[in-house]
Amino acid sequence: MAQHLDLEEQEQLDQLKHFWAQYGNLITWVLIAVLGGFAAWNGWNYWQRSQATKAAALFDEIERASDSKDAEKIERALADMKDRFGGTSYAAQGALLAAKSLFDAGKPDGAKVALAWVAEKSSDESFQAVARLRLAGVHLEGKAFDQALKVLEAPMPKAYEPLAADRRGDVLMAQGKGDDAKAQYQKAWDGLSNRNEYRQLVQVKLAALGVDVSPAPASNEAAR
């Protein structure tokens, strides 16, 4: 009986040796690839976390510089952010904050550069849309009406289309094109939800142009 088991074990061992001789290298390479991929994934996640931490620190620096109204420091921190962490959401947020602070500090050109960078380089459509709306506003303030309208020609996410129409209306009004502005304000009004508070401002603009979009009061018959 013991000899039978020894022979059976020897046969199984020979089969295992044959299998390993045939597939051993393949199994080894597959294991190396799997373990290497796992290590790479962990390394990528670590790198991502490290990048986010460093980008957050730079965003805080932009925020502090904005609070202290230090325009030169804002521009330096933003340049550093764009160079080192341009692909992060912190960079887009930092540029939007920097643009507002630079505009308030009387540096509209710096604000335009920051906003144009977000509009062109951000991977987030919402950040791009916000940047274009604000950039058009800066051009409007500088009476660069054609440039403002050109900025607003770019496609927008659907949620931002009414706001783009409203901004176009503002530019057209500044150009003295009341009828064209009215059409854009109407488009904005139609696109905004009645729960959106900004819709009330659009209603005021339409009213100034002689358009009443307030809901009609319910009739007595309907009330019954």
**Beta strand ranges found along the chain (DSSP E):** none
Q: Which helix (H) or strand (E) holds 191?
A: helix 178-191
> Residues near 105 by Cβ (< 8 Å), separated by ≥ 6?
69, 71, 74
Query: Quick one: pLDDT at residue 44?
Result: 40
Q: In the prediction, which pLDDT does 42 show?
A: 47
Does residue 196 sit in helix, strand or coil? coil
What is the per-residue pLDDT for 11? Answer: 67
- DSSP3 helix / strand / coil % (the chain, rounded to 5): 80, 0, 20
pLDDT of 30 reads 63
* CB burial of residue 72 (10 Å; 0-12, 13-18, 19+): exposed
Q: What angle do CA 92, 118, 93 make, to 5 degrees?
A: 20
The confidence score (pLDDT) of residue 159 equals 93
Per-residue pLDDT tens digits for 19-73: 667 666 666 666 666 555 554 444 444 445 666 677 888 888 888 988 888 999 9
pLDDT of residue 87: 81
From residue 96, how far is each of 123, 166, 175 by CA, in Å?
Answer: 14, 20, 27
| pLDDT score at 222 | 47
Give pLDDT, residue 194. 87
Q: What is the pLDDT of residue 85?
A: 85
Q: Which residues of the chain have pLDDT under 70?
A: 1-20, 22-52, 215-224
What is the structure's pLDDT at 49?
A: 60
